[in-house]
Chains A and B, each alone.
Chain A
Amino acid sequence: MGAFNPSALFARLAVSMRLWGLGLAMVGVMLSPAVAQGPQPAGPGVAAPPTAASEPTGSLSAAPLASGQAVAAPTITLGPEAAPMTEEPVLEARLLKLSEELRCLVCQNESLASSRAELADDLRREVRDLLREGKSDQAVKDFLVERYGDFVLYRPELKPLTWLLWFGPFVLLLGAVAGLGWYLRQRRQLADTAPALSDAERARVDQWLKD
């Protein structure tokens, strides 16, 4: 192995290129519906900004148009755009993100974002007020930890108590990889230094293989 063989290499290249083309074509087919749909707004779970429903219709006629009809042509025939549940979408988005990291204290392992328990409603209200006051995410978390302890955080804070938790898997991986390397090397050494079979032993091996 290792000798440079142009024709063999070329043959392989040809196969590879055909496969490359086939692969791209497959991917193109798979994604074509996505292309047809056009660009989507990015970001998980972000409520889109309020539409024309909450904005004045401006210079259009004084006759009361259903809000939203100032938007592009197709929606005129469909109906008024529904208003978002919240008046403060940016704040609510922040609340959602933050409350996904907080635990509902009275539920069976649910986040504050998804729980419908009464205490969860109260805590979300509290967090909302704190966010309105301009507190940072960390300040909100500190507020809750002061009153309820570390239990309320789903992402454990990095401190000596949680070093094992956060670094453990990584350390284990390094150890396992090192162990693997050591094991492989040990095997090779063992194989290299194994004594050659004597003739008598060779005869016995042949006998065993025949059985």
Chain B
Amino acid sequence: MLAELGHFALILALLVACVQATLPLWGAWREIAAWQALARPAAFAQFGLVALSFAALTACFVNNDFSVSYVAQHSNSLLPTVYRVAAVWGGHEGSLLLWVLMLALWTAAVAAFSFSLPQAMVARVVGVLGWVSVGFLLFILALSNPFERLLPAAADGRDLNPLLQDPGLIIHPPMLYMGYVGFSVAFAFAIAALMAGRLDAAWARWSRPWTVVAWLFMTFGIGLGSWWAYYELGWGGWWFWDPVENASLMPWLVGTALIHSLMASDKRGNFKAWTVLLSISAFSLSLLGTFLVRSGVLTSVHAFATDPKRGVFILMFLAVVVGFSLTLYAWRMPKVRMGQAVSLLSRETLLLANSVLLVVACAAVLLGTIYPLVIDALNLGKLSVGPQYFNAVFVPLMVPLLVIMVPGTVVRWRESQWSELLLRLRWVALAALGVGLAAPALAGEWSIGAAFGFFLAAWVVLGSVQHMVLRWRQPGQIGAAYWGMQCAHIGLAVVVAGITGVKSYEVERDVRMGVGDVVTIEPYAFRLQGMSEVKGPNYRAVRADVEVLKNGQPIDRLYPEKRRYFSTAMPMTEAAIDTGFMRDLYVSLGDPIDGPTPQWSMRVYYKPFVPWIWAGVLLMVLGGGLAAVDRRYRAASPRTETMPTGVAPQGGA
């Protein structure tokens, strides 16, 4: 009964979305205020219906309704309740429903928090979001229905993949989808502005807070995914350049370029064409990511089970949405007045350089991700593109980006002087150089890679500190956005330092341990105190009791496990980690070894600086949050310009 209710709610949501996608847009075009006014209620109604549908599916999971096919595939009666809820998005159909729920949520939020916007603008934005909703709802109802019945009902479910039975599943996909879907708002604003023929600073001002919030969720989601892989998979890796990871990184890179470009468009009216293109691209990459992950064209550990029909639908949807947007772009942009000229050394130029570097990095990741597909499609063979390629290409692109981060915040708009810039930054440069040269020697063996990495991180941190101190001394209020910017920049630097540190100084010991044996990684020692068998709610595990000592003094007890879930034959490793400010101590239990005395294979890792990666991500998220709540965004809309002669201004207010 519940499943049918959920299904019905989805059908209603589709109908509402169809209304939402047509009438307000028509109303905005033909200046029919009543139809424009339909946008907000439609958005709220759609959110209510999708939420109802989602709740129905969740209830099916919690109630162990194995007559619903999707529940039978991804759940089990022994599954703890919290994972039954998380299992809702553990498979393809449910995760799409989560996507649509997020979209409805963002649409409703735009409808709710946009009272300072002209009604026609709201109508257009919500209308465009309606088109996206229609596409996804149609996809779900036609090809990915989570409410399909399984008759006769299964006696018990197939269980959620043990790798997913982890707190990471509870939070990573929702946060990530908030980001993916959030870029649709910037997209909608850009399309709405193109439709209206009004591309002024107001559009950029309105779009900014939404884009920053989407960006911070995306950052959080990617960071969570990386952290989850790190502690879950058992050998402490945190980024594999897997196609699905790349699918999330690409919109993030363009999204970062977008928030910086929006700044220039907002404050100076510059780069409109570029900002609009970035707005379209960010969401297009989200859609492309959806295609790559769910169509089966690329192989990935993260990929959902696939079906060629689904791939075709998503590709067509992608072609229509993006094709339409880019056509609109090509048609409208030539008529928009361009911004002012700027000198070679100016904030505008450095922001453009930021865009260029991020977009080229994104293009490089895209190239590497789809190259095997392209070569195969051309019948030229089969090859693989792995982490070695991406690291070789991506890292050099990030270097100039980090370098220009500091002057980017220092130079003035429009025009700036080299002498002034050098004068201000030379001590920062020297100090950063000092840190770069000294830090590796303190952390271990000196290497040029580590020195360079620490130099870049110190450059950004010290530059930001200098900037903040100087700004503090100046009169005038400092908005939250300023602190947000500095926080996010410092966060990135901390991530860079973390990555540099762990890559240069991590130590791995692959050993066989009997009870009482010790593994030493100065100044730490790991002693196996004993082994035991434990029983979990739906698994049985062998657990090792490892005492961790520093300089001979016990500091922690770790309990790595090797689990065997009842539902699958797959053994699973649960690593045990001791986290400190400067390092992680990571122990992973392997298989028992035949021999005269009982022994087990163990992997013990010393990973310095790894916590800095996660801390840096949190700082970036915090920075984004501060930037989004700046008071400026809650002010009334500034005066708007209209189009030059030749194109009649459209829309009300």
Contact = CB atoms under 8 A, between A and B. Distances in A.
A180 B393 contact: no
Given A81-B518, A109-B242, A150 B458 contact: no
Interface in B445-503: 445, 447, 458, 461-462, 465-466, 469-470, 503
Contacts of B242: 109
Interface string A148-177: 011111111000011011101100110011
B303 A68 contact: no
B632 interface: no
Contacts of B606: 40
B15 interface: no
Given A17-B427, A34-B608, A188-B341, A114 B466 contact: no
Interface string B509-539: 1111110111111110101100000000000
Interface stretch (B81-89, B150-158, B377-385): B377-385
B299 A24 contact: no
Contact of A187 (B235, B341, B521): B341
Which of B301, B511, B525 gathers most chain A CB within 10 Å?
Answer: B511
Interface stretch (A42-50, A117-125, A127-135): A42-50
B444 A40 contact: yes
Interface string A20-53: 1011101100010111011111111111100100
A9 B357 CA distance: 34
B367 A81 contact: no
Contacts of B466: 16, 19, 23
B510 A165 contact: no
A125 B375 CA distance: 31
Nearest to A9: B423
A89 to B, nearest CB: 9
B195 interface: no
Interface residues of B, number: 100
A58 interface: no
Nearest to A159: B383
A180 B353 contact: yes
Contacts of B94: none
Interface in B354-374: 356-357, 359-361, 363-364, 367-368, 371
Contacts of B506: 44-45
Contact of B518 (A15, A38, A78, A162): A78
B517 A190 contact: no
Interface stretch (B32-40, B96-104, B434-442): B434-442
A82 interface: yes
Contacts of A177: 356
Nearest to B430: A20
A80 B389 contact: no
Which of A22, A42, A77, A151 gathers most chain B CB within 10 Å?
Answer: A42
A150 B352 contact: no
A47 B509 contact: yes
B518 A114 contact: no
A190 B385 CA distance: 44
Contacts of A17: 427
Nearest to A153: B384
A77 B299 CA distance: 51
A93 to B, nearest CB: 10
Grouping DSSP codes into helix (H, G, I), strand (E, B) and loop, the B interface class, with mixed when no group exceeds half, is mixed
A34 B443 contact: yes
A184 B342 contact: yes
B197 interface: no
Contact of A31 (B380, B442, B509): B442
B439 A31 contact: yes
Given A35-B442, A37-B523, A165-B389, A44 B384 contact: no
Contact of A19 (B397, B427, B447, B504): B427
B505 interface: yes
B360 A48 contact: no
A109 B462 CA distance: 40
B451 to A, nearest CB: 13
Nearest to A48: B509
B268 to A, nearest CB: 13
A142 B582 CA distance: 42
B417 interface: yes
Contacts of B363: 168-169, 172
B327 interface: no
Contacts of B504: 42, 44
Contacts of A16: 424, 426-428, 466
B445 A80 contact: no
5 contacts: A40-B444, A43-B445, A44-B506, A82-B517, A169-B360
Given A20-B430, A27-B458, A44-B508, 11 more contacts: A34-B608, A35-B442, A41-B507, A42-B504, A81-B518, A82-B512, A108-B299, A156-B384, A169-B364, A176-B360, A187-B341
Interface of B: 233, 235, 237, 240, 242-243, 299-301, 303, 338, 340-344, 349, 352-353, 356-357, 359-361, 363-364, 367-368, 371, 375, 380-389, 393, 397, 417, 419-420, 423-424, 426-428, 430-431, 434-435, 439, 442-445, 447, 458, 461-462, 465-466, 469-470, 503-514, 516-523, 525, 527-528, 549, 551-552, 580-582, 601-602, 606, 608
- Which 7 A-B pairs rank lowest in CB-CB distance, beginning with the nearest? A154-B386, A42-B445, A191-B341, A169-B364, A155-B388, A16-B427, A82-B517
Interface of A: 1-2, 9, 12, 15-17, 19-20, 22-24, 26-27, 31, 33-35, 37-48, 51, 68, 74-75, 77-86, 92, 100-101, 103, 107-111, 114, 149-156, 161-162, 164-166, 168-169, 172-173, 176-177, 180, 184, 187-188, 190-192
